[in-house]
Structure 1
Amino acid sequence: MEAPPVVWSLRADWTEPLRARPVRVALTCAAVLALLTWRVGVRADLPAFLWLGAAGTALGFVDVAIKRLPDPLTLPSYGAGAALLGAAAPFTEDGGGRFPHALAGLAALWALFAVQWLLLPGAIGLGDVKLAGVLGLYLGWLGLDAWLLGVAATFVIGGVCAAGLLAARRAGRGSELPYGPFLLLGTLLAVLVHA
């Protein structure tokens, strides 16, 4: 009997956490989308934030389960986010001035995490670098204050959770923690404050 293609086995690997907990994933996604709809409101950029909420929820569940941020979820979010925010740009109060800020936020957050990955390769993964660029796009769209809050919240939430796990002896100094959920939570907090 022939073995399944390698692509299928890789795909099945990262989809398993989503298929194993469909109700939990769906309820979490619905809550995130409801929060974003409430905070962003009926604006031209709402579809972009809803995309981020749905993709981010899936990425969070996958990263917690298998400590990976799969490209099939992360990389399309660059194109989708840029397209949806670009389409919304002419309808903003500044007539499109947010979009260059979004691109600058993408580049800056991607670079910040890429430098960390190069200097401390065991501290974060390449998936975190890829996700950081996507999140930087949205944070940049909301402005410098949102970008700074998102970055700071990411590091604070990650540090507090790591310290809590160490204190509870549920993790040791060499433990590998998924960083994607901290990136996503920090970004969500910044969106809720600045949208």
Structure 2
Amino acid sequence: MSAALIALAAAYGAAAGLLVPRPAHRLSVEPGEPWRAQCPGGHPIPGWLGRGRCPACRAPYGPAPAPAAAGTALACAALAAAVGPRPELAVWLLLAPPAVLLALVDRRVQRLPDVLTLPLAALAATALGAVAWLAGTPAPWLRALLGGLALAAAYLLLFLLNPAGLGLGDVKLALGLGVALGWYGWGVLLAGAAAGILLGALHGAYLLVVRRVGRATTMPLGPAMLVGSFLALLLGAKGP
């Protein structure tokens, strides 16, 4: 059962990951600009879901589909292996593709769009609330809500202290991540927050050492926050 569940989660992740390049291309614009509606050749893009390739000129756009599918599949398989057949697995699998999309957009244009971060937080809270209601155990859900508020408040404080170091998009992303991490406890929440900051600092230090960026360069924090939260979520799902 466990192997079948992992394989099913990986297949779902791969299929969902193939749909990521198109919205990543459309959302990867600077603040104030409208979402992209055309392929590199100037042809209109039909909708938000589908392959990242223009049906008219066959030109590819957005992130490469194979790495996006592989990364999403690996994340979903790891979640299935850690969580097992518990009901919250459905929530994590639902959140995984938009989390990958957020990481790709932030990496491309250093932006976490509200159209992704806020619905992600709402989806996490609503779906986990449904799980808590079905299980008859409201305590984890209430802790998740408090965790989201706590992590968002912590990032808001960091933003106010150093607005050049992170943006309000990171604060809004922290709201959803805090909800997910809070489901497994305050220790998991702290571990995920610390891991995200540490990974961001290590990545920035590496780029400085290899001279790919300067000291004044602004670097996206969203991918590090997402990876750190993902790792903490895996540990939290496995339990002590």
Shorter-chain TM-score tier: 0.7 to 0.9
Tell whether the 8 Å contact from 2:72 to 2:97 is kept in structure 1 after alignment.
yes
Q: CA deviation at 1:192?
A: 1.1
Q: Which residue in 2 is equivalent to 1:96?
A: 138
State the number of aligned residues.
Answer: 185
Tell whether the 8 Å contact from 1:33 to 1:53 is kept in structure 2 after alignment.
yes
Are residues 1:83 and 2:121 paired?
A: no
For structure 1, the residue ranges without an aligned partner over 5 or more in a row are 1-8
Q: CA deviation at 1:52?
A: 2.2
Tell whether the 8 Å contact from 2:150 to 2:178 is kept in structure 1 after alignment.
yes
CA distance in 1, matches of 2:63, 2:76: 21
Are residues 1:180 and 2:204 paired?
A: no
Q: Which residue in 2 is equivalent to 1:42?
A: 85
Are residues 1:11 and 2:35 paired?
A: yes
Q: CA deviation at 1:20?
A: 3.8
1:58-103 deviation per Cα after TM superposition (whole angstroms, max 9, x unaligned)? 10111111111112221111221111100111355x8221011001
Tell whether the 8 Å contact from 1:44 to 1:91 is kept in structure 2 after alignment.
no
The residue type paired with residue 125 of structure 2 is A
1:140-188 deviation per Cα after TM superposition (whole angstroms, max 9, x unaligned)? 1110110111011111111111111111111111011110001001101
- Equivalent of 2:160, from 112, 118, 143? 118
CA distance in 2, matches of 1:43, 1:10: 40
Higher helix share: 1
CA distance in 2, matches of 1:78, 1:70: 13
How is 1:57-72 mapped onto 2 (pairs within 5 angstroms)? 57-72=100-115
Identity of matched residues, %? 39
The residue type paired with residue 22 of structure 1 is P
Tell whether the 8 Å contact from 2:181 to 2:189 is kept in structure 1 after alignment.
yes
For structure 2, the residue ranges without an aligned partner over 5 or more in a row are 1-32, 38-47, 53-59
Q: Which residue in 2 is equivalent to 1:147?
A: 189
The residue type paired with residue 90 of structure 2 is P
CA distance in 1, matches of 2:164, 2:236: 33
What CA RMSD, in Å, does the superposition of the two structures yield over aligned residues? Answer: 2.0
Tell whether the 8 Å contact from 1:18 to 1:58 is kept in structure 2 after alignment.
no
The residue type paired with residue 118 of structure 2 is L
Q: Which has the higher contact order (CA 8 A, sep 6+)?
A: 1
Q: Which residue in 1 is equivalent to 2:236?
A: 194
The residue type paired with residue 145 of structure 1 is G
Tell whether the 8 Å contact from 2:191 to 2:232 is kept in structure 1 after alignment.
yes
TM value normalised by structure 1: 0.88
Tell whether the 8 Å contact from 1:29 to 1:54 is kept in structure 2 after alignment.
yes
Tell whether the 8 Å contact from 1:18 to 1:25 is kept in structure 2 after alignment.
no
Bigger Cα displacement from structure 2, 50-59 vs 137-146? 50-59
* 1:150–1:18 CA distance, 2 compared to 1 (3 A): farther
Give the 4+ runs in structure 1 shifted more than 3 A: 15-20
CA distance in 2, matches of 1:115, 1:173: 22
1:96-122 deviation per Cα after TM superposition (whole angstroms, max 9, x unaligned)? 210110011000000011111122111
TM value normalised by structure 2: 0.72
Q: Which residue in 1 is equivalent to 2:198?
A: 156
User: What SS class does the counterpart of residue 11 from structure 1 fall into?
Assistant: coil
